[in-house]
Amino acid sequence: MNRWLLPEDIADILPAEAAKVEALRRLLLDLYQSYGYELVTPPLIEFLDSLLTGTGSDLNLQTFKLVDQLSGRTLGLRADMTPQVARIDAHLLNRDGVTRLCYAGSVVHARASITSSSREELQVGAEIYGCASLDADFEAISLLLQTLRLAGLERVYLDLSHAGVLAGILEDVSLTPEQMETLYALLQSKDRPSLATWSQAVPTDCAKALLALTHLNGPSNEVLKKARKGEFALPNNLKVQESLLQLEALLTSIAELDPVTEISIDLADLRGYQYHTGVMFAAYIADLAQPIARGGRYDQVGAAFGRARPATGFSLDLLTLASLSMASALRLAIRAPWVHDPALEAQIIQLRQAGEVVIQVREGEGFFSTQYQCDRELVRQDKNWVVTPLRSVK
């Protein structure tokens, strides 16, 4: 076996791309911190039951597991940072009022997800705790849109949904976790024949509403009209109607903030339904079939840590975002001789302190880089070293 081979769907990030990823990471964290978000860095591994709290079976299947030789307990290699950040808010910070947290770190999946070609991702996200109003949902969505703009992605499509719609439809129906998993999969795939067969076990009005969800997708205003009146109208109960009103209010706010972004609604798009409790959203771009980012409200995820705080936020894979970004990480640099000369060394130190990149090269040797391009050089003029335009690319 070749020792340089990596496991399947695991890859190195080479200099030019790594520089692009790091530059974008700094820009995004600076953006979040300008809103008052505090940076946290959870551990890469922790006890499995903590990692999987309130997340459903999907995350369990994606989590690498190992035995802690110190305690004998099962550890997990994190596949998502959201439960960890919820634990920090609920148990470690334990604050009253609103807390804003952001993060950037590696997550690893047992299998590559449909949204990525790699089993390792660099997850970046922002979460708001302690605010139950739509103001927090709107802030999370607006921050996500700014994130994508900052990466140079101009054409963004936003898709909204709401977990409260399905909760309202099933208000008087008792289903086992296994039945919920099946229903979730049928709605997600919009498999109407199978859903019709499955729905024979629930009341007629409920079955009709579940089938209606598979038709309620498309331009936002049209979907809201169809959900309230006509063939695919949803039940007129408080939970369903309140969910639709929240979506309508968000649409108005987003349109005022960003009239360029196209907004759609898909009330059957319930990925993450296991822990989402309110508004859910996904961002798409033309060059990617799957969402570039996902987010939503998950008010109960902190309950197992002792505090079921209101919470909303979003996350995305920075490696995917950087690969789609048109921003260039190429930096201009100054070429300098690699010789011992106190005056030269003093000048190089001064230039580097001023933010310049200075690369020393031995005489007669070439310089090759995908990250830096030398457009100037340090040359000796009398007793001084002076920066001049590079006379020739060597």
236-288 confidence digits (pLDDT tens): 999 999 999 999 999 999 999 888 899 999 999 877 656 788 999 999 998 78
Average pLDDT, the chain: 90
pLDDT for 219: 94
**Is the model's pLDDT at 14 over the cut of 50?**
yes
What are 152's two structure tokens? 């140079």
User: Where do the domains of the chain lie?
Assistant: 1-155+286-329, 160-262, 331-389
Distance, CA of 103 to CA of 89 (rounded, Å): 13
Instruction: Give the pLDDT confidence of 116-153 residue by residue, as tens digits.
Output: 678 899 999 999 999 999 999 999 999 999 999 999 99
Would you list the DSSP string of 336-388? Answer: EE-S--HHHHHHHHHHHHTT--EEEE-TT-----SSEEEEEEEEEETTEEEEE
Distance, CA of 3 to CA of 362 (rounded, Å): 32
Q: Which CATH number fits domain 1-155+286-329: 3.40.630.90, 3.90.1150.10, 3.30.930.10, 1.10.1040.10?
A: 3.30.930.10
**Is the model's pLDDT at 394 over the cut of 50?**
no
Based on its alpha-carbon atoms, the radius of gyration of the chain, rounded to whole angstroms, reads: 26
More confident residue, 115 or 52: 52
- For residue 205, name the pLDDT band (cuts at 50, 70, 90): very high
Question: How far is Cα of residue 317 from the mean position of the Cα atoms in its chain?
Answer: 5
Instruction: Specify the pTM.
Output: 0.87
pLDDT for 51: 84
pLDDT for 316: 95
Cβ neighbours of 66 (radius 10 Å): 11
What percentage of the chain exceeds 70 in pLDDT?
A: 96
* β partners of residue 77: 45, 64
pLDDT for 296: 94
Give the CA dihedral 307, 313, 318, 320, nearest 10 degrees.
120
**Is the model's pLDDT at 329 over the cut of 80?**
no
